[in-house]
A and B are shown apart, each in its own frame.
Chain A
Amino acid sequence: MSPLIKHIIRGIILLLVQLFLIKNIPPLHQFIVPYIYFVFLIWLPFRVTRMQLLYIAFVWGYVVDMFYQTPGLHLAACVLLAYARPALVDFLLPKDSTEWGSEEPSRATMGQVPYFVYVLILTMVHHAWLILLEWIQFGSFFYFMGKLIATTTVSMLLVVIADLLFNRKASRR
């Protein structure tokens, strides 16, 4: 299967899970509103350039916003994530990331710990911007911190589960 089709199918599955499963789960607490759709951007191959990444994130964020009735909110968070991603990859990986070609970030390609740090930081960045923009409209600092920590924890849990389910192996090492 060509990588392009693979990523499109993966995107659609993530979107459906986010919108019709996670969005509809009765919330455990007002601080816990987990997200999974942004993993699509985290899992894009290393080959994707910074510019492409920004445009993909723009479209992706807009699609999610369409369903959440929040024009611009997820869009802003996705674009920030896309902007932060290449810098983080350069920082965490010793090699130049363009050499990795069609590989995508996973436990197998990056190693357990760097991959975990990579996902954690990007999740934090995405959620922080999302919740900060909510906070500007209402809420308090306590609300911001509480929601950031609780939501990031649950989202990380979801990413780990997704990782196990999709079972992404390195095609070559």
Chain B
Amino acid sequence: MRNVFLFLRRYSIFLRFLVMQVIALIMLFSKNRFHQSYLGMVSKELAGAINTRVNAVESFFSLSQQNDALREQNAELLSLLPSGSVWADSTGLLVQDTAWSDSVRTLRQFVYLPAKVISNSVFLPQNHVILHRGSDQGIEPNMAVVSRDGIIGTVVHVSKNMSGVMSLLNNESIVIAMLKKGSGLGEISWDGNDPYALTLSKIPKTVKVALGDTVVTSPYSDRFPPGSKIGKVVEVDQDQETNTYILTVRPFVDFNTVQHAFVVRNVLENEMDAIRKKFKKE
């Protein structure tokens, strides 16, 4: 027994070092559970509060660019107003109406909540974006996050006023995607190296792929609005082992400079889930 105590005293520094390393590694390799714990929440709110202050200064430097972008978006949206689209017909005029719920029962499926990006990274293997909007403002995990140019990622952690988004630049992120011209579902993933190169796999070789083809989200996604833009094909590679392509896709969103995002709430999600559960029960 005495020897044990002697040993402990002699190597106390080394043992403490080992304990600290083990704590660090446990934190690192079980990051999801840890992050949702109370400690993770507190640190995120604190770091978020400081990030918000700095971001307030930083956003001044890109004001003119942001203004241009918003103006462009305004123009785009104005051109979509019901009053702007009129169908000429030989017999008469039909005004297209896309209101929330009208006489022909157009149902709205996706609601967009604006959010400001307050922290962001691109050069880690697992990049996250932090938005200044949280559970108090109606954000829930698993909601999609898009920007004007294209999709950004999925909400994974939510605290009261902040939410953490797993961006497309994360080696654990997988998004079902397709080519805009139709045919073939594939998976968008990231290998962790170049922030301007996503990988689109599992597109069958029967589909004709050309450089510059636009990649959009699939129509069957329950998170992302169908047909949201992702990027364009910049490199076409044949997978030798399977009958599919490996495409390199350049994302439309510049993750370095993204400042504004929209969190997308799928209003019909509960209904879709309920239907799915019925299938599982059978």
Contact = CB atoms under 8 A, between A and B. Distances in A.
A81 to B, nearest CB: 11
A121 interface: no
B121 A71 contact: no
Contacts, number: 86
Contacts of B256: 26
Interface residues of B, number: 42
Contacts of A148: none
Interface stretch (A2-10, A134-142, A153-161): A134-142
A121 B13 CA distance: 21
Interface stretch (A40-48, A50-58, A94-102, A108-116): A50-58
Interface in B26-55: 26-29, 31, 34-35, 40, 43-44, 46-47, 50-51, 54
Contacts of A80: 17, 21
A23 B24 CA distance: 22
Contacts of A137: 125-126, 171
A120 interface: no
Given A27-B123, A54-B20, A139 B46 contact: no
Contacts of B121: 23, 68-69
B229 interface: no
Given A66-B43, A71-B40, A137-B125, A76 B21 contact: yes
Interface of A: 20, 23-24, 26-27, 30, 33, 50-51, 54, 58, 61, 65-73, 75-76, 79-80, 83, 133-134, 137-139, 143
20 contacts: A20-B54, A27-B122, A30-B194, A51-B12, A54-B13, A54-B17, A54-B20, A58-B20, A66-B43, A68-B124, A69-B130, A71-B27, A72-B31, A73-B28, A79-B20, A79-B21, A83-B13, A137-B126, A137-B171, A139-B192
